[in-house]
Amino acid sequence: MTAYRLIPLLCLFTFAMTPLTLEQAINPPATPAPTLAFHLSEQFTLPPRDIGWWWLGLEWNATNVYLAMITRELLLVKADGEDTFLQPQDHDFGSILDAQWLDEEQIGFADQDKDQTHIWRWNIHDPHAELIASLPMRLEFADIQWATRLATGRKDEQWMVWDFGAQPPTMLVDYSTIFIAAAYPVDVIWSPVEPEMLWQLVPIRNLAGNIVVTTLGEDDRYTRPLNLGHGGEPECNSIKWSFDGTQIGCGEAGGSVSLISSQSIPPVPPRRLNGLDSPIVDVYLSQDGSLIAGVDRESVAIWDVMEGELVSRIAVAKGSVVALSRDNQRLAVGSLDGVIHIYQQS
Q: What is the 3-state secondary structure (H, E, C) of 167-223?
A: CCCEEEEEEECCCEECCCCCCEEEECCCCCEEEEEEEEECCCCCEEEEECCCCHHHC
Range of the domain at 206: 34-345
User: With DSSP H G I counted as helix, E B as strand and the rest as coil, what are the percentages for the chain, rounded to 5?
Assistant: 5, 45, 45
Q: What is the 3-state secondary structure (H, E, C) of 315-339?
A: ECCCEEEEEECCCCCEEEEEECCCE
- Express each pLDDT in 280-324 by its tens digit: 888 899 989 899 999 998 999 999 998 989 999 999 988 889 999
> What are residue 8's phi and psi, to 5 degrees?
-60, -35
Question: What pLDDT score was predicted for residue 190?
Answer: 34
What b/e sequence results for 272-296 when a residue is b if at least 16 CB atoms lie within 10 Å of its CB, and e otherwise?
ebebbeebbbbbbbbbeeebbbbbb
Question: What pLDDT score was predicted for residue 83?
Answer: 63
Residue 311 counted as domain residue: yes
Within 10 A of 102 (CB to CB), how many other CB atoms are there? Answer: 19
Residue 22 counted as domain residue: no
Q: Are strands 247-252 and 236-241 parallel, antiparallel or unpaired?
A: antiparallel
Residue 340 counted as domain residue: yes
By C-alpha distance, which of 91, 200, 104 is closest to 143? 200
How far is Cα of residue 51 from the mean position of the Cα atoms in its chain? 24
Question: What pLDDT score was predicted for residue 245?
Answer: 63
Altogether, the residues listed in the chain come to a count of 346
Q: CATH number, domain at 155?
A: 2.130.10.10
Domain count, the chain: 1
Which residues neighbour 224 within 8 Å (Cβ) at sequence distance 6 or greater?
Answer: 214, 215, 262, 265
The list of the chain residues with pLDDT below 70 reads 1-34, 47-53, 81-83, 139-236, 245, 262-268
Residue 42 counted as domain residue: yes
Residue 6 counted as domain residue: no
Give the C-alpha distances (Å, rounded to integers) separating 19 from 9, 30, 172, 237.
15, 18, 69, 46
Q: How many alpha carbons lie under 13 Å from residue 199 in its C-beta half-sphere?
A: 22
Question: What pLDDT score was predicted for residue 140?
Answer: 58
Question: What pLDDT score was predicted for residue 252?
Answer: 82
What b/e sequence results for 197-213 when a residue is b if at least 16 CB atoms lie within 10 Å of its CB, and e otherwise?
bbbbbbbbbbeeebbbb
SS3 7: helix
Question: What pLDDT score was predicted for residue 266?
Answer: 56
Residue 20 counted as domain residue: no
Question: What pLDDT score was predicted for residue 10?
Answer: 35
Question: What pLDDT score was predicted for residue 230?
Answer: 46
Residue 25 counted as domain residue: no
Alpha carbon distance 142, 153 (integer Å): 7
CB 283 within 8 A of CB 251: yes
pTM tops 0.85: no
Residue 2 counted as domain residue: no
Question: What pLDDT score was predicted for residue 304?
Answer: 94
CB 322 within 8 A of CB 314: no
Question: What pLDDT score was predicted for residue 310?
Answer: 92
How far is Cα of residue 255 from the mean position of the Cα atoms in its chain? 15
Question: What pLDDT score was predicted for residue 62?
Answer: 87
By C-alpha distance, which of 140, 133, 236, 146 is closest to 189? 146
Question: What pLDDT score was predicted for residue 165?
Answer: 57
